[in-house]
Amino acid sequence: MDVQKDIRPTADDVISLLKTNLDCTVSHVEELKAYEDRNFYLKIVESEQNQCDYIGNVTEFVVKMTNCEEMSELKWKSLQKILNCLLLNGFTCTKLLTSFKMEKNGKEYLVLLLNYIPGSPLMYHWSKLNKTTVIKQVGEMVADLHNTLQTLDPSLLDVEMNKEDAWVLENARVMLGYLIAIKDENEREIIESIIKQFINLMEQNEEHFTRGLVHGDLHDMNLIVNWKDGQLQPHYNASGNYTVKDLFGIIDFGDMCVSCYIYEVGQIIRDLMVSTCPDNCYSVAVTFLSGYLKCRKLNQHELSILFLSIMTALCQYYVISEYKFHGQSDNEYVKEGAKEACQLIKAFHSMSDIFMSNLSKFLQSEFNIDLIQST
């Protein structure tokens, strides 16, 4: 596969765009890690902060530049309605301030000016935190998020899901067409087997899975945190009375879609495994579930597909990275997790029975749930 030159918009393009459209001067700009989009943190000169109503007294922002073929302005307007509902329910999350369009190298980009949530991604802080405590807190927060999203009408997201988007787990079949990028025959056979098992179980049981709006990209780079003395600190709340959802700022809702909640649970556990404990798939899963199941139920069918959801989500990391991102040779972020995912796939793909047996014991012991495995 040929390596292609990165032709996406640059920091200089951002500075010029804001000067033209908002008449403000950028005093600092810093690129943020991203897969296909280009994201920037920026600060404007304080004396120019009141140039327009949607900026007000704010001087720090995030600019997201995304290909219009991947993200429409209509979807972001739909997303804003959903984000407003989350804000009203006490979540700290992205707010869209305004948007522009620009053209670069023959492609049209949607440029989003977003609020800046103080802090930094959870990914950078695992070594300083009690992993077990934080993974459980993530589980509680995600359950609260899913509960809130489930109350919203899915039609609020006024766009159809892209059936060719391989990052949506229920589109796992798309990955079968990507396997040509996996050169090792043994790896390719293992991955193909996992994906086909998942598709088979999904098709047998999907009518029993709860569907609704999901974030679509909820991992530790999209959870903004503050910490002190080894513990997460709440956003915007100094009273001492706070809940778990106050600990996390949620960003990057661009992949929001309507899907099954158990698939997102599998993807989140995948990310936590890769980031925190790649040698123990089971411990990460049960720690997350110990928080999640306190706040939200998963039925027998959903729990029975959990292992394959996690394994297929690991396949996403490795297969999509190998197939799609060869053109971003200078973007190490697109490769993060892919090597670890491949190692986890080879280490755990044959451990379904052990995982499900241990999961069954955990569910019975902690939540009095008798797991009946789907076949």
Write the Ramachandran bin of 165: left for phi over 0, alpha for psi from -120 to 50, otherwise beta. beta
**The two three-digit tokens of residue 27, written as one number:** 């005093």
CB count in 10 Å sphere of residue 342: 22
Element (H, E) at 87: helix 73-88
Tell me which residues of the chain have a pLDDT lower than 50.
1-4, 374-375
Q: Give the pLDDT of residue 1.
A: 43
Non-local (6+) Cβ contacts of 353 within 8 A are: none
Q: Give the pLDDT of residue 2.
A: 46
Distance CA 33, CA 312 (A): 24
Give tens-digit pLDDT for 4-59.
455 778 888 888 888 888 778 888 889 888 767 789 998 887 655 555 555 656 78
Distance CA 96, CA 15 (A): 18
Query: DSSP state, 170?
Result: G
Distance CA 352, CA 317 (A): 20
What are the phi and psi torsion angles at 263 (to 5°)?
-70, -40
Distance CA 275, CA 336 (A): 10
Non-local (6+) Cβ contacts of 74 within 8 A are: 158, 159
Give the angle 81-83-86 at the CA atoms, nearest 5°: 115
Q: Report the candidate in 288, 222, 217, 219 with the shortest Cα–Cα distance to residue 250.
A: 222
Query: DSSP state, 68?
Result: T
Residue with tokens 């879609």: 257
Q: Give the pLDDT of residue 3.
A: 42
The predicted model scores a pTM of 0.89
Is-contact 301 361, C-beta < 8 A? no
